Amino acid sequence: MAAADAVLPTAGHGAMESWLQSRSDVRERRGLVRAASPIRLSAAGAMLDLASNDYLGLSRDPRVTAAAVDAVQRYGAGARASRVVNGTLPVHAELEKQLCHLTGAESALAFSSGYLANLGVLGALGGPGTLLILDAHVHASLLDAARLSRSPVAIVPHGDLGEVATALQTRTQPRAVVVVESLYSVLGDGANLTALAALCASHDAWLLVDEAHGIGVAGAGRGAVHAAGLAGAGNVLLTVTLSKALGAQGGAVLGSAALREHLLNTARPFIFDTALAPAAAAAASKAAQIIAADPTLVARLQENAATLARLCGIERSPGAVQSIPMVSADHAVRAAAGLRAAGVRVGCFRPPSVPDGVSRLRVTAQADLTPAEMEYAAGLLRTVARAHPANVSEQAGLGRNRNDI
Ligand SMILES: Cc1ncc(COP(=O)(O)O)c(C=O)c1O
């Protein structure tokens, strides 16, 4: 049959199309439909943004954007190859140096995103001989990384040190890695890093701390691991994203030189991926330098987080993320829409993003918020919290399986 005579199936028929439609119907019924609409820059300028993760406002800092422009002009728009072919540029080496300087780690290896850094490190350390013990609230990238790593996996209740100890004590594998976030991305609470590191040391295990929300925020910007006095500890390694407080894009794994060497040779998301774009590497590198040189920016962020929590009448969490529980996904969506209409953009977290099944508004403090802006937003948030009071029990069961949407 000539190509022109081939009968093409029409859209909307067949098993796959019906399945797509049924999944879409389920999302619609549960109030879980998402959109990725471009924000209108003029409108964004007029909106008060309490939803993004640019905690220090560095994504638009002229020193950071100038570094990105310079890197594009020197090296081009893309890195053109994997790091292990010929994609490693001076900006990558400089970025890794600045990240070590900021966090106190011995070595760093940059990836194209924080997500890939997590896939890379757990893939390279995992396997049948490594037990991975994950806190139930860790980010989706760490859960996916654990699944892909072919390791035995234990998921322990959030913040439960006793369960971590039991998993370590009863393990049959020679190696183990305990996986936590320094500051959790949705609830904003912190892990007890000192106790976890000691527990891991006493059981010959490693502690992997995802500092996505800690770098540039905790410990004068050097991260919660540094603040806990664990920088450079032999059994503690970190992952970071460059896309939140550092205002750029990309990720990194930080730890010993031996770890870096192992990742460079075995981490598939590093080897089989085009290197981080020069502009992003240079921007993140400059942001890391700014944070290390000037702790006042981070101090302003911390002050604003405390003020925002106090004005909203919620318990202050240690990082930039403040969390307000909502009665249901539908209430959370309606509350966020109401706030948007009044000129305030907040995060709306519902399954599968919330690990505990409680939908919530997520409000992120930023260093450049003014007292008047915080008063205005907090007034609205207090009204919203009264109109949509949380009822945790109604939500039981939702969101347990993060693939169930
Ligand atoms: C805790 C945590 N880890 C990893 C990531 C992934 O980072 P990136 O956006 O750079 O891929 C995120 C981003 O949302 C995060 O919150």
d(CA 289, CA 244): 15
Q: Residue 307: which region, alpha, beta or left (left: phi > 0; alpha: psi -120 to 50)? A: alpha
**What 3-state DSSP class applies to 190?**
strand
Q: Phi and psi dihedrals of 81, rounded to 5?
A: -165, 170
Encode pLDDT of 332-362 as tens digits: 888 899 899 899 999 988 877 776 667 889 9
Q: Which of 94, 146, 81 is nearest to 120 (CA)?
A: 146
User: For the chain, which residues make up each domain, given as ranges?
Assistant: 39-55+320-395, 60-293
Q: Which of 241, 242, 353, 362 to mutate to test the pocket of ligand 1 (most atoms within 8 A of CB)?
A: 241
pLDDT at 356: 67
Element (H, E) at 176: strand 175-181
Q: Is the pLDDT of residue 270 over 90?
A: yes
Please compute the mean of the pLDDT values over residues 48-68 and round it to a whole number.
96
As a whole-number percent, the residues of the chain with pLDDT over 70 amount to: 91
User: CA geometry: angle at 115 spanning 109 and 116, to 5°?
Assistant: 50
pLDDT at 389: 66
Q: Is the pLDDT of residue 393 over 80?
A: no
For ligand 1, what atom is nearest to the CA of residue 115?
A: 11
Task: Please compute, for residue 315, the number of CA atoms within 13 A of its CA located in the half-sphere on the CB side.
Answer: 6
d(CA 13, CA 203): 56
Q: What band does 3 get if pLDDT is binned at 50, 70 and 90?
A: low
- Partners of 360 in the beta sheet? 325, 349
As a whole-number percent, the residues of the chain with pLDDT over 90 amount to: 72
Surface-to-core class of residue 208, CB atoms within 10 Å of its CB (0-12 exposed, 13-18 middle, 19+ buried): buried
d(CA 403, CA 405): 6
Output the residue whose Cα is nearest ligand 1's atom 10: 114
Tell how far CA 256 is from the center of its chain: 22
**What 3-state DSSP class applies to 206?**
strand
pLDDT at 304: 96
Report how far ligand 1's centroid is from the alpha carbon of 50 (Å).
18
CA dihedral 144, 147, 150, 152 (to 10 degrees): 130
Encode pLDDT of 199-225 as tens digits: 999 999 999 999 999 999 999 999 999
Q: Is the pLDDT of residue 397 over 60?
A: no
The position carrying tokens 């140096």 is 97
d(CA 225, CA 4): 63
pLDDT at 46: 74
pLDDT at 382: 87
Q: Is the pLDDT of residue 182 over 50?
A: yes
Report how far ligand 1's centroid is from the alpha carbon of 362 (Å).
15
Structure tokens at 253: 């794994």
Query: What angle, 0 to 180 degrees and rounded to 10, lies between the N-to-C axes of helices 371-387 and 329-341?
Result: 140
Report how far ligand 1's centroid is from the alpha carbon of 340 (Å).
24
Helices then strands, counting H and E runs in the chain, come out as 15, 11
Report how far ligand 1's centroid is from the alpha carbon of 186 (Å).
11
Q: Is the pLDDT of residue 135 over 90?
A: yes
pLDDT at 375: 93
d(CA 189, CA 371): 24
For ligand 1, what atom is nearest to the CA of residue 242?
A: 10
Output the residue whose Cα is nearest ligand 1's atom 7: 114
Report in angstroms the alpha-carbon separations of 112 from 96, 284, 315.
13, 12, 35
For ligand 1, what atom is nearest to the CA of residue 241?
A: 10
Domain 60-293, CATH class in plain words: alpha beta
Q: Is the pLDDT of residue 392 over 50?
A: no
Q: Which of 55, 135, 185 to mutate to test the pocket of ligand 1 (most atoms within 8 A of CB)?
A: 185
Contact criterion met (CB below 8 Å) for 126 and 132: yes
Report how far ligand 1's centroid is from the alpha carbon of 250 (Å).
9
Output the residue whose Cα is nearest ligand 1's atom 8: 114
Q: What is the mean pLDDT of the chain?
A: 90
**What 3-state DSSP class applies to 129?**
coil
For ligand 1, what atom is nearest to the CA of residue 116?
A: 11
Report how far ligand 1's centroid is from the alpha carbon of 115 (Å).
6
Q: What band does 174 get if pLDDT is binned at 50, 70 and 90?
A: very high
pLDDT at 5: 66
d(CA 398, CA 402): 9
Encode pLDDT of 63-114 as tens digits: 999 999 999 999 999 999 999 999 999 999 999 999 999 999 999 999 999 9
Report how far ligand 1's centroid is from the alpha carbon of 211 (Å).
9
Q: Which of 53, 59, 115, 118 to mutate to test the pocket of ligand 1 (most atoms within 8 A of CB)?
A: 115
* DSSP state for residue 330 in the 8-state scheme: H
Q: Is the pLDDT of residue 402 over 90?
A: no
Structure tokens at 256: 């010993």
Q: What band does 299 get if pLDDT is binned at 50, 70 and 90?
A: very high
Output the residue whose Cα is nearest ligand 1's atom 15: 212
Q: Is the pLDDT of residue 366 over 60?
A: yes
Encode pLDDT of 217-251 as tens digits: 999 999 999 999 999 999 999 999 999 999 999 99
Between 33-47, 340-354, 368-382, the lowest mean confidence (pLDDT) is in: 33-47
Q: Which of 239, 286, 275 is nearest to 121 (CA)?
A: 239
d(CA 66, CA 156): 44
Report how far ligand 1's centroid is from the alpha carbon of 114 (Å).
5
Fold equal for 39-55+320-395 and 60-293? no
For ligand 1, what atom is nearest to the CA of residue 118?
A: 4
Contact criterion met (CB below 8 Å) for 251 and 110: yes
Report how far ligand 1's centroid is from the alpha carbon of 240 (Å).
8
Is domain 39-55+320-395 in CATH 3.90.1150.10, yes or no? yes
Q: Which of 141, 144, 353 to mutate to test the pocket of ligand 1 (most atoms within 8 A of CB)?
A: 141
Q: Which of 45, 56, 34 is nearest to 343 (CA)?
A: 45
Q: Is the pLDDT of residue 327 over 60?
A: yes
CA dihedral 46, 48, 52, 58 (to 10 degrees): 80
Please give all residues whose beta carbon lies within 6 A of any atom in ligand 1, as ranges: 113-115, 118, 139, 141, 181, 185, 210, 212, 241, 243, 251
